[in-house]
């Protein structure tokens, strides 16, 4: 059982052109061609391509994914290198998530700012009277916000660790 490029595009939710671009970029050296030169994808190819798409979603560059794939072709000697590569990107990803969560809490703070301003009908409830400057104590309000999300984050980290241990045992 094999799939055409169009079917794969459908299954993975990416375009045909993107798949061809990935192939050009050395991400799909394992994909075989049939007699008339068309790509034929196996279930296993799909499996691997899901990993590729996933790494891409994690913000891993095409070049880095290519090295990962090329390590794979070199066989069992590179298992540990591949593990290390993933581990490194996990760190990266955790950082990205933390950053986004911080941004989120800043957004929530700004929402509160506009929510209260809308209720009041004018923005200057947050200004120093007689100026166009934001009240300094708003920074503290923001800090308080950051703190609650930090706690959330710790909670998440704890849950992750637990999850990790469960899997290992």
Chain contacts with its own copies (rule: CB under 8 A): 42-44, 47, 51, 54-55, 57-58, 75-76, 79-80, 82-83, 86-87, 89-90, 93-94, 96-97, 99-101, 103-104, 106-108, 110-112, 114-115, 117-118, 121-123, 132-134, 145, 148-149, 151-152, 155-156, 159-160, 163-164, 166-167
Closest C-alpha to 24, from 46, 4, 39: 39
| Cα torsion angle, 62, 66, 67, 69, sign | positive
Our finding on whether 5 is near DNA (CB under 7 A) is: yes
Shortest distance, position 38 Cβ to DNA, whole Å: 4
Shortest distance, position 159 Cβ to DNA, whole Å: 30
Binding track over 15-54 against DNA, x by CB under 7 A: xxxx-xx-xx-----------xxxx---------------
DSSP state, residue 59:
T
- DSSP H or E run through 32: strand 32-33
144 vs 129: CA distance, rounded Å: 23
Q: DSSP assignment of 99-151, as one string?
A: HHHHHHHHHHHHHHHHHHHHHHTSGGGGBPTTSSSBPTHHHHHHHHHHHHHHH
Shortest distance, position 131 Cβ to DNA, whole Å: 24
52 vs 18: CA distance, rounded Å: 12
Region binding DNA by CB under 7 A among candidate stretches 1-9, 109-117, 119-127, 129-137? 1-9
Q: How many helices (H) and strands (E) does the chain have?
A: 6, 2
Region binding DNA by CB under 7 A among candidate stretches 13-21, 95-103, 118-126, 160-168? 13-21
The contact set with DNA (CB under 7 A) reads: 4-7, 15-18, 20-21, 23-24, 36-39, 56, 61-63
């Amino acid at each position: 059982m094999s799939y055409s490029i169009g079917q794969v595009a459908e299954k993975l939710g990416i375009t045909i052109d993107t798949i061809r671009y990935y192939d050009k970029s050395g991400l799909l050296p394992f994909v075989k061609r049939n007699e008339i030169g068309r790509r034929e994808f196996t279930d296993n190819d799909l499996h691997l391509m899901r990993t590729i798409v996933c790494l891409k979603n994690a913000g891993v560059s095409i070049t880095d994914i290519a090295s990962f794939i090329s390590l794979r072709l070199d066989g069992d000697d590179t298992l540990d290198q591949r593990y290390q590569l993933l581990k490194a990107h996990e760190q990266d990803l955790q950082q990205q998530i933390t950053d986004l969560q911080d941004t989120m809490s800043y957004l929530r703070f700004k929402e509160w700012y506009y929510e209260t301003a809308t209720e009041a009908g004018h923005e200057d409830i947050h200004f120093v009277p007689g100026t166009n400057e934001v009240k300094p104590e708003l920074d503290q309000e923001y800090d308080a916000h950051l703190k609650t999300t930090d706690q959330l984050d710790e909670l998440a980290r704890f849950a992750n660790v637990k999850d990790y241990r469960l899997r290992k045992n």
